[in-house]
Amino acid sequence: MPAATLDPRAAIGNAVIDAASHVGRLSYFTLEAIRDLREIRIWWPRMITEAWNIGVGSLFIVLLISSFAGAVTALQTGYQFTGSIPYYVVGTLVVSSIILELGPVLTALILAGRIGARYAAELGTMRVTEQIDALESLGRSPASHLVVPRVVAGLIMIPVLTVLANVTGILAGWWSVRLVLPVTDADFIYGAQSYWRPWDAWYSVIKSIFFAGSITLISCYMGFSTQQGAQGVGRSTTGAVVTSSILILFLDMLLTRLLLNQ
């Protein structure tokens, strides 16, 4: 790590060099993982375990948060537009908000905290206790044993959780709006269908795949790069959550620009 300095130009220079070095190492790390995809016999059984952990372990919190998000979106829409526009618009807004934004982004942010922190802490602890070195010393690839199963499991399960979050959010929005507003089921369905484009569902899934890739790769990379004992594990864990969250928001903007605003 470059020495701390009071000169702002040097500090910016150091930060740029540091960031470039991380990008380079992350790229190399990703290439290693891609190369080890061929060792399917090694990563497949571990991937199943990881997929189960991500899917079952995160299901409750993902569904809980998406249902509250759906309900609050529906209630706020009703509050803002009562008397100004037809009630069926609530259906349009709930479905669009959940599928285009809230479902994938909230799910990804939750999982960046839950899965990202776990991966970085697990792998960071393995690094400082020399377990990763031990794997290498046995002539085995840490990427195929530790990275590929986690990344593939994330790439499969995070989109699945996103779809479930979307469905739950919409149902929760529908249910809550019926409690407080004079919106009939027919109104809600009419609104939901009026501006529905099948591409929106694909867009939601595509976003979640990008988010899954960034959460899992960043967290594994941070874990592998851990140095200096327990403090280092703490730093990597925090770094994994913060970096993946920022990357999720950045990718959200980038993908919206690329996939929706052409």
**Where on the chain is the footprint of another protein (CB under 8 A)?**
126, 129-131, 133-141
What's the Cα-to-Cα distance from 237 to each of 56, 97, 107, rounded to whole Å? 22, 31, 19
Own/partner contacts of 177-182, CB < 8 Å, gap of 24 or more, are 177/74, 177/75, 177/77, 177/78, 177/90, 177/94, 180/75, 180/78, 181/78, 181/82, 181/87, 181/90, 182/87
Choose among 234, 236, 239, 166: nearest CA to 204.
166
8 A C-beta contact, residue 96 and residue 51:
no
- The residue (of 194 and 227) whose beta carbon lies closer to another protein is 227
Q: How far is the CB of 133 from another protein (least distance, A)?
A: 5
- The residue (of 130 and 185) whose beta carbon lies closer to another protein is 130
Residues 247 and 211: their CA atoms lie apart, in Å, by 8
Q: How far is the CB of 13 from another protein (least distance, A)?
A: 18
Q: How far is the CB of 85 from another protein (least distance, A)?
A: 55
Q: How far is the CB of 134 from another protein (least distance, A)?
A: 4
Residues 62 and 48: their CA atoms lie apart, in Å, by 20
What are the backbone angles phi and psi of residue 28, rounded to the nearest 5°?
A: -65, -40
Q: How far is the CB of 136 from another protein (least distance, A)?
A: 6
Residues 238 and 234: their CA atoms lie apart, in Å, by 6
Choose among 47, 17, 53, 62: nearest CA to 211.
62
Q: How far is the CB of 53 from another protein (least distance, A)?
A: 12
- The residue (of 35 and 197) whose beta carbon lies closer to another protein is 35
- The residue (of 2 and 182) whose beta carbon lies closer to another protein is 2
